[in-house]
Amino acid sequence: MKTLTLKEYKHIFDTMYSSLCLFANKYVENLEASQDLVQDVFIRIWEEKIAFQHDQAVKSYLYTAVKNQCLDYLKSVYVRTTQSLYEEDVFQWETDPFFHREVVISETNHILEKAITTLPEKCAQIIKLSIKGMSNPEISEELGISLNTIKLQKKIAYKRLRPLLKDYFLLFAFIAELKK
């Protein structure tokens, strides 16, 4: 077991922060609070010089620590007095299936975002809007470009993304099933 060097710590923060914030947001449904909770976890790792055996242990620790941080936040007096919190919801959030599903969704989102960053800027922008559920005419109106350009850019994006994401097909199919 070894503690993280500053370079390793920064790399983990840079690669995991966004995914962990999205993961935390599934619990607390407040992006600003999610970011604070994730930062608290990273601060604790650094200050307490927590040691890890390998990279997978770091990820596992981070997701579990963020989950626990979120649950503590939700159970806090402040949240209970300012927001309605139902015991059934807390019970569901504490279950392993919910935790594992959200980790898989978060990791899948990270893989997809990383692949999208390889696309040309306009292409990536169109795909992101499409993923958010916008139709081609809505994207065309939003970006002020023709419908044919949207279709062409999507075709280019799919052609470039397909080889990058081919190994993750089953994972994406699994996620689609989870969301039904």
Where would I find the beta strands (DSSP E) of 35-170? 51-52
Among 65-74, 78-87, 102-111, 123-132, which stretch is predicted with the lowest mean pLDDT? 78-87
pLDDT band with cut points at 50, 70 and 90 for residue 93: low
CA distance 112 to 108: 6
- Tell me which residue has tokens 């039904």: 180
CATH code 1.10.10 region(s) in the chain:
117-180
Average pLDDT over residues 138-158: 90
Identify the pLDDT of residue 4.
76
- The packing angle between helices 121-131 and 147-165, to 10°, is 90
Q: pTM value?
A: 0.53
The residue-averaged pLDDT of 157-168 equals 82
Topology of domain 117-180, per CATH? Arc Repressor Mutant, subunit A (1.10.10)
Q: Say if residue 83's pLDDT is above 70.
A: no
Fold adopted by 1-95? Rna Polymerase Sigma Factor; Chain: A (1.10.1740)
Where does CATH 1.10.1740 sit in the chain? 1-95
Average pLDDT score over the chain: 80
Tally of helices (H runs) and strands (E runs) in the chain: 10, 2
